[in-house]
A = this chain, B = another copy of it.
Amino acid sequence: FRMSIADFTVRSPARLTLGVFVLAITIFTSLLAAPFSSATGEATPLHDALFTAVSAVCVTGLTTVSTAVHWSFIGQLIMLIAAFMGGLGILTLASIMSLAVSRKLGVRAKLMAQKSMDSSGASALGEVSSLLRIVILTAISLQGLIALFLIPRFYVLGESVLSSIWHGIFYAVSAFNNAGFTPHSDGLVPYETDLWILIPLMGGVFAGSLGFPVIMVLLAHKFNVKKWNLHTKLTMLVTTILLFAGAFLWLVFEWSNPRTLGDMTVGDKVIHALFASTMTRSGGFNLVDQNDIHQVTVLLTDALMFAGGGSASTAGGIKVTTIAVMFLAIMAEVRGDTDVKAFGRQIPQGTMRVAISVVAMGGSLVMVATGALVTIDESVGFSRALFESISAFATVGLSTGVSQEMPPAGKYVLSILMFAGRIGSITLASALTMRHRNSLFKLPEERPLIG
């Protein structure tokens, strides 16, 4: 049985991913729709149950009903388990693929090669399952660590032991998996200057958004940058740039906005800006109402959300390495170089193709969804519809309230978008890794004009 799962995994990871996610969403939708999940004891309508299940499994964090008010403790527990399993599922599936990529050889090809040579036979499978063990153990350890920081704080703030443990675990899982759900009805606003809570949350979201391939390299080599592979270098560099540039711009744009930072001390302004920048690229927690920020900050948020986090992470978006490759491609074009280079390595031409596919697919999905939302209810306006669509596609979870305002049709549109945004990148990556057919013959090349 274990053998056949591994076999299926390596043979058709795209179909496997799709199947696993659809199954999980179906189960969690039924559980959330049941009367025991809601605070009032009444059944939850399908569109809200489905939306919440998709949002949790895809670790998006958008909500159509208040997490704290609508759901019972059981309902919240189901959401948390869904987010935990969703995050773990993404990490394990993505890690299998990244293993295959890092070996520059499909796992399947490797399996077949070893079988035909009739040698050890189980070693590739062993490699996959030991990888899975490492991924799961590391993920659980990191979430436990975040919870250990948070639990005492909630206790100190006057919550009961049980409540502190529950909230500590909830926020730890929600942060590391970049889910962004909050069990408090006011969200994080009451803790907006509480560094004891904000720093573990930011650390958790940041770690989760790097992606497993990077976390493994960091655990192995720490900050010995020379030993990092290209993927780790690019991810860390772009993540750092986006984090600080995003925080700086957010700070400048909102500095004197009376609805957000206007009346705060300089220290609090800086904390808010760093928090906003960290959370925008996928965490989804927020300290200020997204309806209160300036239009230019909305645009900045749109861009950072669309960019997203690291590959094979619980973050969404088009991913920071895609940003890096786009930038490097432009630099190469401007310089007139034949090759795209970074850190003394040449980036394969095929990478450009994946990058353009990811960007074009993401842009199209967001555009069609935005169009659908303003058609369903024109009163939400273009800017808010776009914001919510990017947030759903990039599984961020920041919201101006459109998810709650929308009639059921709009909720289904956003559910599909969250699902497509989450699954799309994984299956595209898998298409890249696993299914490259070699043509039997080469066609003659012909170059169309571009641009």
The reply to whether B371 and A353 contact each other, CB–CB distance below 8 Å, is no
Beyond A338-B439, A356-B326, A356-B355, is A348–B447 a contact (Cβ under 8 Å)? yes
The reply to whether B295 and A378 contact each other, CB–CB distance below 8 Å, is yes
Bound-state CA distance A344–B443 (Å) is: 7
Chain B residues with CB under 8 A of A211: 449
User: Would you call A132 an interface residue if the criterion is a C-beta within 8 Å of the partner chain's C-beta atoms?
Assistant: no
Query: For A98, A330, A344, A434, which residue has the most chain B Cβ atoms within 10 angstroms?
Result: A330
Chain B residues with CB under 8 A of A355: 356, 450-451
The reply to whether A382 and B445 contact each other, CB–CB distance below 8 Å, is no
A184-222 with Cβ < 8 A to chain B: 211, 213
The reply to whether B347 and A449 contact each other, CB–CB distance below 8 Å, is no
Chain B residues with CB under 8 A of A335: 431, 435, 437
Chain B residues with CB under 8 A of A235: 448
Chain B residues with CB under 8 A of A294: 374-375, 378
User: Would you call A118 an interface residue if the criterion is a C-beta within 8 Å of the partner chain's C-beta atoms?
Assistant: no
Partner of A447, one of B326, B347, B383, B424: B347
Partner of A352, one of B230, B334, B352: B352
A168-187 with Cβ < 8 A to chain B: none
A278-312 with Cβ < 8 A to chain B: 294-296, 298-300, 303, 311-312
User: Would you call A429 an interface residue if the criterion is a C-beta within 8 Å of the partner chain's C-beta atoms?
Assistant: yes
User: Would you call A142 an interface residue if the criterion is a C-beta within 8 Å of the partner chain's C-beta atoms?
Assistant: no
Q: Whose C-beta in chain B lies nearest to the C-beta of A94?
A: B449
Query: For A231, A295, A439, A447, which residue has the most chain B Cβ atoms within 10 angstroms?
Result: A447
The reply to whether A360 and B451 contact each other, CB–CB distance below 8 Å, is no
Partner of A446, one of B300, B345, B370, B371: B345
Q: Whose C-beta in chain B lies nearest to the C-beta of A374?
A: B295
User: Would you call A324 an interface residue if the criterion is a C-beta within 8 Å of the partner chain's C-beta atoms?
Assistant: yes
Whole-angstrom distance between the Cβ of A406 and the nearest chain B Cβ: 14
Q: Whose C-beta in chain B lies nearest to the C-beta of A322?
A: B450
The reply to whether B437 and A337 contact each other, CB–CB distance below 8 Å, is yes
Whole-angstrom distance between the Cβ of A446 and the nearest chain B Cβ: 4
Whole-angstrom distance between the Cβ of A357 and the nearest chain B Cβ: 5
Partner of A325, one of B230, B367, B448: B448
Interface size on A, residues (CB 8 A): 92
Interface on chain A toward B: helix, strand, loop, or mixed SS? helix
Partner of A299, one of B324, B374, B431: B374
The reply to whether B378 and A337 contact each other, CB–CB distance below 8 Å, is no
Bound-state CA distance A351–B351 (Å) is: 12
The reply to whether B346 and A444 contact each other, CB–CB distance below 8 Å, is yes
Bound-state CA distance A295–B425 (Å) is: 29
The reply to whether A381 and B383 contact each other, CB–CB distance below 8 Å, is yes
User: Would you call A428 an interface residue if the criterion is a C-beta within 8 Å of the partner chain's C-beta atoms?
Assistant: yes
Partner of A347, one of B231, B338, B348, B448: B448
Whole-angstrom distance between the Cβ of A16 and the nearest chain B Cβ: 15
Partner of A353, one of B340, B357, B442: B340
Q: Whose C-beta in chain B lies nearest to the C-beta of A359?
A: B359
Whole-angstrom distance between the Cβ of A289 and the nearest chain B Cβ: 17
Beyond A326-B357, A347-B445, is A371–B450 a contact (Cβ under 8 Å)? no
The reply to whether A439 and B326 contact each other, CB–CB distance below 8 Å, is no
Whole-angstrom distance between the Cβ of A413 and the nearest chain B Cβ: 13
Chain B residues with CB under 8 A of A428: 333-334, 451
Partner of A348, one of B101, B336, B344, B445: B445
The reply to whether B319 and A451 contact each other, CB–CB distance below 8 Å, is yes
Cross-chain pairs A/B with CB under 8 angstroms, 8 sampled: A230-B448, A231-B448, A295-B381, A319-B449, A335-B437, A338-B437, A345-B444, A358-B451
Pick the 9 closest A-B CB pairs, nearest first. Answer: A336-B435, A349-B349, A311-B449, A382-B383, A358-B451, A295-B374, A352-B352, A326-B360, A346-B443
In addition to A98-B449, A296-B374, A299-B367, 12 A-B residue pairs with Cβ atoms within 8 Å of each other are A296-B378, A329-B353, A333-B354, A333-B357, A347-B446, A349-B350, A355-B450, A356-B356, A358-B451, A359-B359, A363-B363, A382-B383
